[in-house]
Amino acid sequence: MRRARGRRGAAAFVAVPAAVALLGGCGIQETDVIEAGGPASFQAFLDRDYDMLLFFRSPDGGLSTVIRTTGSPSADTAGPVPTEKVVSALLAGPREEDRAAGLTTALPTLGRGDTVKVEPAANGRVTTHLPIALKPLDDTALRQLTCTIAYSQDADGQIVVELRGQDGTSRSGTCQLAPGGTSLPETGD
């Protein structure tokens, strides 16, 4: 008798928290961050004949994209803005409107006289000679350079970029910004 009553008591002790747990999740609960589809693409009105795509540094350490127009189509060739010009613009640093948005650069600023030399792309690979030393550059700076050059050379940015510095250092890599984009191997097609 007493044991039966004890068992019944134990059952009640199990049932009550169970009911409380069932009813406890009432109302709307918080959730974790849940992934929901891809990003949203918006109209940027990018015209590769007029516009340059430059990558600067955000305050949070990431890269922010800037579209800078050259005002007129490139005079000499009917095609995209030449990469030398784009890299020079990048090395010239953020303009006032860029700085107003909090953008900075991790690259040293370059004087007017120094020139950038870009070898024609071949085999999905482009080599750029830069009038700066590569060794002291940090990761953000290298990504700025690589991505700017990659998107200047290829609309999809799918190209291996080799950087040659004034100090003889060379670096190569791909710009890995695209969502879901795969980086090309060193010896791409």
Q: Using only C-alpha atoms, what is the Rg of the chain?
A: 28
Contacts of 117 (CB under 8 A, 6+ apart): 84, 128, 129
Give the x/- contact pattern for another protein in 12-31, rule: CB under 8 A: x--x---x--xx-xxxxxxx
Contact predicate 189/174, CB 8 Å: no
Stretch that binds another protein, among 100-108, 110-118, 120-128, 135-143 (CB under 8 A): 100-108
Given the complex with another protein, which of 32 and 76 has the nearer CB atom? 32
Residue choice 50, 88, 98, 124 for contact with another protein (CB under 8 A): 98
Dmax (CA) for the chain in angstroms is 103
Rounded Cα–Cα distance for residues 146 and 143 (Å): 5
Rounded Cα–Cα distance for residues 72 and 49 (Å): 8
Give the x/- contact pattern for another protein in 130-169, rule: CB under 8 A: ---------------------x--xxxxx-----------
**With CB under 8 A, what is the number of residues at the site for another protein?**
55
Ramachandran region, residue 15 (left: φ > 0; alpha: ψ -120 to 50; beta: rest):
alpha
Rounded least distance, CB 159 to another protein, Å: 11
Contact set with another protein (CB under 8 A): 11-12, 15, 19, 22-23, 25-46, 48, 53, 58-60, 62-67, 97-98, 100-103, 151, 154-158, 177-179, 181
